[in-house]
Structure 1
Amino acid sequence: MAGDTDFSGKRVLVVGGSSGIGNGIAHGFRERGAAVHVWGTRANVSDYDPADGSDLTGLGYTCVDVGDPDAIAAAPMPFDGLDVLVLCQGTVVYKRGEFERAGWDRVMAVNLDSLMHCASKFCEQLAAARGSVIIVSSISGLKANIGNPAYAASKAGAISLTKTLGQAWAPMGIRVNGLAPGLVDTKLTKVTTQHPDRLAGALARIPDGRMGTPADMAGTAIFLASPLASYVTGHTVIVDGGLSL
């Protein structure tokens, strides 16, 4: 069974892999032998703060603003082929900013539109490798999200896109699946995690009694990209400690 999660010789790109969940997933693959490259938003590796959950040790890096389709198109290919594409990009606008056009447009561009643009860019390489795509959405895509209409709608769209691409690309040998995290301690969730009352209320709703970690998400991503999930196509696995039950 251990060999099923050995990614030695495999090439993995994690979009949004510079911090948080994406960074945890990137290191999960690296620790299992893969060559891993990440895309992030800052100009240089040195611009990332380890306190924000950024560890780029052993990872390749390219700065790409995935909210801009032209930037995705112009970005260099990280390898001469690709076995696994993890789409973990995401942003959110608080203080009701997503009810305004600028906030809505930015969140939808990064959280939903860029998924299709990135997947299309690497489709040919993934087909040649009979590879795998993993789309990271959120349990916010399964319900309402107070104050964040674009975030919730974009994540619902990501779950739907996972189904549709899974169906469309399976004949090419590409498996498309996803994972939907619950509450994970990252820079995007500081609005909850750094407020003791909000955090206590959130933990009280999680049957497992704790927040998720990037490593928890990595475990599911590794499973989905491995031969263990060879007959899983188009599905999004909920990884939330029971929060959405």
Structure 2
Amino acid sequence: MSDLDFGGKTALVVGGSSGIGNGIAHGFRERGAKVHVWGTRAAAADYDPADGSDLGGLAYAKVDVGNRAEIEAAAPIDPLDILVLCQGTVVYKRGEFGPEGWDKVMAVNLDSLMACAMKFHDTLAKARGSIIIVSSVSGYQANRGNPAYAASKAGAVSLTKTLGQAWAGDGVRVNGLAPGLVDTKLTKVTTEHPDRLRGALNRIPMGRMGEPSDMAGAALFLASPLASYVVGQTLIVDGGLSL
């Protein structure tokens, strides 16, 4: 059996309704896992495939993780072997400099990571499972105009280290991955402006944007037996952008 065969395993991808999370969800599904996804809309049919949403073969539930009460009220998933925390939001036009924008981003991008991890800790411990926290290369550098996004992603990297240390003895491996520029609806502010896109691509040694499938490859590795001795690490997956 391949180390990347997830047959008989169950995964939950928070934020798996589109973009990077959706790519990761399908990566696990294609390798045999039963995959649940959480998103913010009432039903799977409310997502537009044009936004990178493909919920075929995935078990969907509406859970807005920006609201802690919804996390607490969400139906349990047991057994659970893999928890991928890929939720994320951003507020443009300097909206994160105000308290409303700051609080919104921090609630989704950082606070909910801990709430979700705590909710499923015991279930994952029973399965000797793993958590993968998706942060960003913005967690390692400044992000012009988006202080909450950058701070929340730096916090996610730190949380990965701290939970990795705290929970390894419980049988739960916690690791993370930090994408660079990936073609999703959150990056349309760059991808839909030719001059911005050209400038961004010039800074990426590989000369292309990442795809959700690139992030899925890293997540599959981190959840697999191939990474059985990897704990608390965030793997940067950015085509060389941060170099």
| Alignment match, 1:74 | 73
Aligned length: 243
For residues 47 and 67 of structure 2, the distance between their equivalents in structure 1, rounded to whole angstroms, comes to: 21
| Alignment match, 2:53 | 54
For residues 132 and 11 of structure 2, the distance between their equivalents in structure 1, rounded to whole angstroms, comes to: 11
Q: Which residues in structure 2 correspond to 1:221-232 (within 5 Å)? A: 221-232=219-230
Query: Any idea what SS the aligned residue of 1:5 has?
Result: coil
| Alignment match, 1:86 | 84
Aligned-pair identity in percent equals: 78
CA deviations 1:176-220 (Å, max 9, x no partner) are: 000000000000000000000000000000000000000000000
* 2:187 alignment partner AA: T
CA deviations 1:92-149 (Å, max 9, x no partner) are: 0000000000000000000000000000000000000000000000000000000000
| Alignment match, 2:126 | 128
* 2:195 alignment partner AA: D
* 2:72 alignment partner AA: A
- Deviating above 4 A after TM superposition, structure 1's stretches of 4 or more consecutive aligned residues are none
| Alignment match, 1:27 | 26
Matched, 1:150 2:151: no
Q: Which residues in structure 2 correspond to 1:1-245 (within 5 Å)? A: 3-77=2-76, 79-245=77-243
How big is the shift at 1:80? 2.2
Query: Any idea what SS the aligned residue of 1:134 has?
Result: strand
How big is the shift at 1:174? 0.5
TM-score (norm 1): 0.99
Task: Flag structure 2 segments of 5+ consecutive residues without an equivalent.
Answer: none
Query: Any idea what SS the aligned residue of 2:2 has?
Result: helix
For residues 177 and 101 of structure 2, the distance between their equivalents in structure 1, rounded to whole angstroms, comes to: 25
Task: Flag structure 1 segments of 5+ consecutive residues without an equivalent.
Answer: none
CA deviations 1:52-109 (Å, max 9, x no partner) are: 00000000000011011111000002x3211000000000000000000000000000
* 2:236 alignment partner AA: I
CA RMSD of aligned residues (A): 0.6
For residues 64 and 131 of structure 2, the distance between their equivalents in structure 1, rounded to whole angstroms, comes to: 20
For residues 229 and 125 of structure 1, the distance between their equivalents in structure 2, rounded to whole angstroms, comes to: 20
Query: Any idea what SS the aligned residue of 2:165 has?
Result: helix
For residues 134 and 115 of structure 2, the distance between their equivalents in structure 1, rounded to whole angstroms, comes to: 15
For residues 78 and 144 of structure 2, the distance between their equivalents in structure 1, rounded to whole angstroms, comes to: 43
TM-score (norm 2): 0.99
For residues 194 and 167 of structure 1, the distance between their equivalents in structure 2, rounded to whole angstroms, comes to: 41
* 2:188 alignment partner AA: K
For residues 215 and 75 of structure 2, the distance between their equivalents in structure 1, rounded to whole angstroms, comes to: 27
Query: Any idea what SS the aligned residue of 2:144 has?
Result: coil
* 2:203 alignment partner AA: R
For residues 197 and 22 of structure 1, the distance between their equivalents in structure 2, rounded to whole angstroms, comes to: 27
* 2:241 alignment partner AA: L
How big is the shift at 1:242? 0.1
* 1:152 alignment partner AA: A
For residues 201 and 33 of structure 2, the distance between their equivalents in structure 1, rounded to whole angstroms, comes to: 34
